[in-house]
Amino acid sequence: MTSELPVKESPKKKVSSPKKTSLSKEPLLVQTLRGMRDILPDEQPHWERLRRFLSNACQEFGFQRIDTPLVEYANLFIRSIGTGTDIIDKEIYCFETRGGDRVALRPEFTAGIARAYIEHGMQSLPKPVKLFSTGPLYRYDRPQEGRYREHWQANFDIFGESDPILDAQIFQIAFRILTQLGLKNIEFQVNSIGTPEGRKEYRKILVRHLESQRHKLCQNCKERLVKNPLRVLDCKEEKCAQVTANAPKSADYLDAESREHFKTLLEYLDELELPYTVNPRLVRGLDYYTKTVFEIYSTNNDRDGKKASLGGGGRYDGLIKSLGGEATPAIGFALGMDRLVLEMIRLGVKPYKESRPKVFLAQLGDCAKKKSLRIFSELQKNDILVAESFGRGNLKSQLRAANRVNAEITVIIGQKEALDGTAIVKDMVSGTQEMVRQEKLFFAVKKILKSNSQVNHNGNGNKK
Ligand code: AMP
């Protein structure tokens, strides 16, 4: 492995150095970069539902959240993921800082989390150490639906246990989240690629097989044959798939311990009745994987006949040591959040519904306006969600806004009420209204909300 940075891809549009031309003089493009997107408020309820299930899963399975920086030293990723992988050779965003550090935007989570594990001495924590992370990742790939240059993942890692029951638990967590989200037809594909030592022998045998049919491989795979021959196995090109269909299988060349590990994992998966198939061509291609590798698919989201993967992961027993830490077995997986949200929308999964404000606060006149901020915060302090339209002076338009949010109560403070310390409380359900002292406002509001909720609870939505 090398710590040299890969050659930077030459950008299509030449950006001159800031020293020569002022960036502020360049034409301003008011748009996101290619392959990046805004996640607008409309889409957020689906994201929120997903975030809530992720957070439930963390609680249920004992994961603690960790947030690591978006930017790390570039060679952390290069040493962990390895050269010869698409991520490092083609997709990583590398740049030099003003201080001369060669850094990269994280293309995946595991390397940064492994770095944090070592840096913060987590090897002394009781095992297993279970860490959860979520956030954006960056890969300079060709964008298309469900594949972005900035995408989000939810990442689960377990450090310190080598028992295959932990591998099975990782599958169980993924399955729990996906089924809670309402995604059906989930399929795991699983394989074992053994240990790096054992893999050397397999690699030789595989290369011999591939070399004999080199002429049939795509250009990328001809290069992979030299740099990372295992990657040829999961090439999506039809002609390469034909060459690899009869290729020797990694699972047939496992050392005794890896074989036993794989066998036991499959027994656990059977016990859990998880839907899986063994895919001998699945390798995932990153240098740090050992033994178990897997991917998760929704079997009904074929795009052009290709299934889009929703997540994937594997064991990486050698990574912590290779980065300078104590030998620590580990396993992890990540779910692609953008793809999960697309899948939720496609399947009509209900988005998260925020609690809506039940009270609208309207004000009329300067004096009332001044009081309204304080009244707003008094109600909030008592856990009452309040909507308002403070920027408007006209009562009619404020009442229209109250109707739009479907408020159950409108509190109106006019000039007179502001001066004598009262407020009008209008029950929008029954249409009745009363005058209360401002210091008793909270009780009056609570009373109406309670009576409305009892009416709703008894199935009679109409108090009128
Ligand atoms: P990986 O880190 O490549 O194993 O990816 C884990 C999951 O993240 C995949 O199964 C996808 O669901 C998702 N994913 C990976 N790359 C992208 C991308 N460029 N855009 C959107 N989602 C992605």
CA 87 to ligand 1: nearest atom: 3
Going by alpha carbons, the residue nearest to atom 21 of ligand 1 is 147
Report whether residue 106 contacts ligand 1, using a CB cutoff of 6 Å: no
Residue 365 makes CB contacts below 8 A (sequence gap 6+) with: 393, 414, 415, 418
Tokens 């990372």 -> residue:
228
Residue 424 burial (10 A CB sphere; 0-12, 13-18, 19+):
middle
Expressed in angstroms and rounded, the spacing between residue 128 Cα and the centre of ligand 1 is 26
- Residue 315 Cβ contacting ligand 1 at under 6 Å: no
Q: Measured from the CA of 153, which atom of ligand 1 is nearest?
A: 8
Please work out whether the CB of residue 336 comes within 6 Å of at least one atom of ligand 1: yes
pTM score above 0.85 = yes
- The DSSP 8-state label assigned to residue 250 in this structure reads G
Give the containing element (helix H, strand E) for 156: strand 150-159
Tens of pLDDT, residue by residue over 244-278, are 988 999 999 999 999 999 999 999 999 999 999 99
Give me the residues paired with residue 74 across strands. none
Q: Using a 6 Å cutoff on CB, does residue 136 contact ligand 1?
A: no
310 CB within 6 A, ligand 1: yes
Protein residue with its CA nearest to atom 6 in ligand 1: 311
Centre of ligand 1 from the C-alpha of residue 383, in Å: 40
pLDDT at 2: 35
Write the residue with the smallest CA distance to atom 3 of ligand 1: 312
Q: Answer whether 147 contacts ligand 1 (Cβ < 6 A).
A: yes
Atom of ligand 1 nearest to the CA of 313: 4
CB 307 less than 6 A from any atom of ligand 1? no
What lies within 8 Å, CB to CB, of 189 at 6+ separation is: 276, 277, 278, 279, 282, 294, 295, 296, 297
Q: Which residues of the chain have pLDDT under 50?
A: 1-12, 16, 18, 460-464
**CA 314–ligand 1 middle distance (angstroms):** 14
Establish whether residue 150 lines the binding site of ligand 1, counting it when its CB lies within 6 angstroms of any ligand atom.
no
Q: Which atom of ligand 1 is nearest to the CA of 312?
A: 4
Q: How far apart are CA 350 and CA 106, in angstroms?
A: 32
| pLDDT of the residue at 1 | 34
Cβ–ligand 1 contact at 180 (below 6 Å): no
Classify each residue of 81-98 as buried b or exposed e, where b means 16 or more C-beta atoms within 10 Å of its C-beta. Answer: bbbbbbbbbebbbbeeee
Decide: 171 in ligand 1 pocket, CB within 6 A.
Answer: no
Distance separating alpha carbons of residues 196 and 192, to the nearest angstrom: 12
CA of 10 to the centre of ligand 1 (A): 24
DSSP code at position 251? G
- The 10s digit of each residue's pLDDT in 288-333 is 899 999 999 988 755 555 677 999 999 999 999 999 999 999 999 9
Residue 34 CA from chain centroid, whole number: 20
Q: What is the per-residue pLDDT for 83?
A: 86
**Closest ligand 1 atom number to CA of residue 146:** 21
Judge if the beta carbon of residue 285 lies within 6 A of ligand 1: no
Q: Is 151 in the pocket of ligand 1 (CB under 6 A)?
A: yes
The number of beta carbons lying within 10 Å of the beta carbon of residue 162 is: 16
234 CB within 6 A, ligand 1: no
CB of 284 closer than 8 Å to CB of 191: no
Ligand 1 pocket check: which of 33, 287, 309, 340 to mutate, most ligand atoms within 8 Å of Cβ?
A: 309
Q: How far is the CA of 109 from the centre of ligand 1 (A)?
A: 11
- 105 has which bridge partners? 71
| Ligand 1 contact via 141 beta carbon (within 6 Å) | yes
User: Does the beta carbon of 153 lie inside 6 Å of ligand 1?
Assistant: yes
